[in-house]
Structure 1
Amino acid sequence: MTNRPEPIRRRVPRNTLNRERVLGAAVDLLDHAGPDAFTMRALAQRLGVGTMAVYSHFKAKDEIIDAVRERLLAEVELPTVGSGRTPRDELRELCRAVYRLLADHPSVLHLLTVRPVHGDEGTAVVERILGLLLGAGLDRSAAARAQTALMQYTVGAALWTARGRQRSGDQEDPGTRLRTRFAALPAERYPHLVDLAPELAAAQDGLPQYEHGLDALLSGLLAGH
């Protein structure tokens, strides 16, 4: 049997590997290869070290997953209490922060479901949203439903954006691809899609489109408050 040669990798200088470098490489691997491709060996190859070098900083893959999850969720900054802004403004800011995190790191949702969540990971975000909704005058039931609606919309919009980026890669943007697709449809069968192809393409602009929907959702949820 012919032995397969070891993959060639650029080794890092001795004693320069640390936990932060490992976590940075783990985030990069998850973002570009996805959770299914995340292994200790793949992570070591990305770092240019032997697998045992990674184990010298983390005991197991699950420990890295927990640390990555904590690091990414820490990127969501809670609005400063007592800033003088309205609850609606603070809700908008907080939802935007969650959207940007999930759109930039779609693997976060997977990381939140593969292992039980311990401590305050993500819990502080939901707690603040509920407090803002109650502070805006919603009753208990309305606040609970509004928080769920906001998170459902935010997660769905972020995944839509992330998948659009993954499909397009370095090629044409999602809007251009959508416009080309709709413009090629038979107009007699799909008159609205063909006619509104430019406008539909313009609506695939990520954060601005998310904000458009978020503002409409907040207006409805907070109507009369």
Structure 2
Amino acid sequence: MAQQPEAGRRAPLNKERVLRAGVALADDSGIESLSMRRLAQELGVVPMALYKHVPNKEQLLDGMADTVVAQIDLSASGSDWKDVVRRRVLSARRVLLRHRWASQVIESRTGPTPAVLEYLDSMIGTFRDGGFSVDLTHHAMHAMGSRLLGFSQELFDDSGSAGPNGGAEALAAMAAKYPRIAELAAGAAHDTASAVGRSCDDQFEFEFALDLLLDGLEKLHQRGWTSTGSGSGA
């Protein structure tokens, strides 16, 4: 019997291939389109074939999140902790901009996945190697929050619209009742194309807040700040 041509052979199914296909499907169609059945169709297999590699959808999402986080560049190193942290965070943001669904999935996990733990461990190490105390590092990680992973939750979500007909009236009503909010909204420039998902800031605002945090942490470090009050003077 003649051998099947190499080009016609189906690539063997494994966990890495399943996760890559899940990421590609979410990139192309949105995370809402992801299901085990749809993913099986994309891979040309029956749904039951997936369960050998990912027992359920939650573990699929865990693996997809790790696949994305593993793309963050951890090669940045040097004696300047602030530069290293900044470069890694902006690398994380570039990754999240390529996979706009990922921030939603990362936030929805009940606990940090292995790749997230590895990334956070590297960031803690950067602060500690930069001379930060365990105390200040602990508070720095809390202050940075999801920004360490390239996204942040905004206080106001202005991605919605009142529509072409009611927009002007809605804005006028808002200005009459909440003049300061309306003033701020009218004066702010937003680049919606650069947002990571619905509720995240644009690149300028992201870097602005990141630099404020890093500058503040640098000052606390130089003062020998601790949460117990020692070194917390002006």
Residue equivalent to 1:124: 118
Tell me the distance in 1 between the aligned counterparts of 2:131 and 2:168. Answer: 46
Tell me the distance in 1 between the aligned counterparts of 2:18 and 2:121. Answer: 31
Residue equivalent to 1:200: 188
Tell me the distance in 2 between the aligned counterparts of 1:42 and 1:95. Answer: 33
Q: Do 1:72 and 1:108's aligned partners in 2 also have CA atoms closer than 8 Å?
A: no
Q: What value does the CA root-mean-square deviation take over the aligned residues?
A: 3.9
Helix, strand or coil at the partner of 2:188? helix
- Taking structure 2 as the reference length, what is the TM-score of the superposition? 0.62
How far residue 154 of structure 1 moved from its aligned partner, in angstroms, is 4.7
Query: Is 2:212 the counterpart of 1:216?
Result: yes
Query: Is 2:53 the counterpart of 1:58?
Result: yes
Tell me the distance in 2 between the aligned counterparts of 1:149 and 1:158. Answer: 11
Residue equivalent to 2:10: 15
* Letter aligned with residue 10 of structure 2: N
- Cα–Cα, structure 1 residues 91 and 154, in superposed 2: closer, same or farther, change >3 Å? closer
Tell me the distance in 1 between the aligned counterparts of 2:153 and 2:179. Answer: 28
Tell me the distance in 1 between the aligned counterparts of 2:183 and 2:149. Answer: 30
Gaps of 5+ in 2: 1-7, 195-201, 223-234
* Letter aligned with residue 55 of structure 2: A
Q: Do 2:77 and 2:84's aligned partners in 1 also have CA atoms closer than 8 Å?
A: no
Residue equivalent to 2:173: 185
Identical aligned residues as a percent: 23
Gaps of 5+ in 1: 1-12, 173-178
Query: Is 2:83 the counterpart of 1:95?
Result: no
Tell me the distance in 2 between the aligned counterparts of 1:79 and 1:222. Answer: 22
Q: Do 2:81 and 2:127's aligned partners in 1 also have CA atoms closer than 8 Å?
A: yes
- Cα–Cα, structure 1 residues 154 and 186, in superposed 2: closer, same or farther, change >3 Å? same
1:68 counterpart (64, 71, 96): 64
* Letter aligned with residue 210 of structure 1: F
Task: Summarize the alignment of residues 164-179 of structure 1 with structure 2, pairs less than 5 Å apart.
Answer: none
* 1:12-71 CA-partner distances (Å, limit 9, x unpaired): x76257545533331244454437x643212123x1624258439736336644542332
Query: Is 2:100 the counterpart of 1:106?
Result: no
Tell me the distance in 1 between the aligned counterparts of 2:124 and 2:10. Answer: 46
- Cα–Cα, structure 1 residues 192 and 151, in superposed 2: closer, same or farther, change >3 Å? same
